[in-house]
Amino acid sequence: MSGGADPLLTFEVGEAHAALPLSMVREVVDCPPIVPVPGSHPHVAGVTLSGGVAVPVYDLRLFPAFWDPPTSAAGGGQPRHLIIVGYGEVVVALLGARTDLLERVEPETPESAGEDPIRREFVRGVVKSGARSIALLDPERLFASLGVPADGFRSTREDEREENPAG
């Protein structure tokens, strides 16, 4: 990781403090209407419109694999914001509370997370802001675990350098 002033968007997920690189965030808005999707996982809050496009909305408070121990974190602040994130060609939204901008400092190691309830596999590092420890989320692992298509995914047929097995 490089030091310096790469800004982060911090937000609360339940009682945990988390952050994503600001470069991934397309916008943060007050929570608009969300349409539930019947039969989806509990952590899929539904879909909403952003710029005329349907965007899936995830509530990490209800995603058991995100927490250590695996559970849900319905406590803490109610999500009042929708954090719209660009992940390659895909746009997704996360529910969060108390969003803020933080100039990045050199993160500590994931082992320094201490009492943080977010599972370490989703944490790239920990940054400090005053007395708060903020988990810098690993977007690739987080979005892959939510089922979001991989950034830059290409099928073998799309790769022109791949040898054609038919000759």
How far, in Å, are 11, 45, 53, 116, 157 from residue 135 at the CA level?
10, 22, 30, 8, 38
Q: Is residue 121 part of a domain?
A: yes
Q: Domain range for residue 108?
A: 7-149
C-alpha 47/C-alpha 152 separation (Å) is 23
Residue 166 falls inside a structural domain: no
The pLDDT confidence band at residue 151, using thresholds 50, 70 and 90, is: low
Q: Establish if 68 belongs to a structural domain.
A: yes
Q: Mean pLDDT for the chain?
A: 81
Instruction: State pLDDT tens for residues 82-127.
Output: 999 998 889 999 999 999 998 866 556 555 555 678 999 999 988 8
User: In 3D, which of 108, 95, 166, 165 has the Cα closest to residue 134?
Assistant: 108
Residues 6+ apart with CB under 8 A from 137: 18, 19, 20, 118, 122, 123, 124
Task: Give domain status of residue 160, yes or no.
Answer: no
Please report the pLDDT score of residue 150 as a whole number. Answer: 65
Q: Does 19 reside within a domain?
A: yes
Q: Does the structure show a pLDDT above 50 at 20?
A: yes
Q: How many structural domains is the chain composed of?
A: 1
Query: Residue 155 above 50 pLDDT?
Result: no
Percent of the chain with pLDDT over 70: 74
Q: What CATH number does residue 30 fall under?
A: 2.40.50.180
* pLDDT reading at 40 higher than 70: yes
How far does Cα 95 stand from its chain's mean position? 9
User: What's the pLDDT at 1?
Assistant: 44
pLDDT of 27 > 60? The answer is yes
Q: Is residue 155 part of a domain?
A: no
Residue 167 lies in a domain: no
In a domain? residue 131: yes
Q: What is the pLDDT of residues 51-80, one digit of tens each?
A: 889 999 999 999 999 998 766 665 666 788
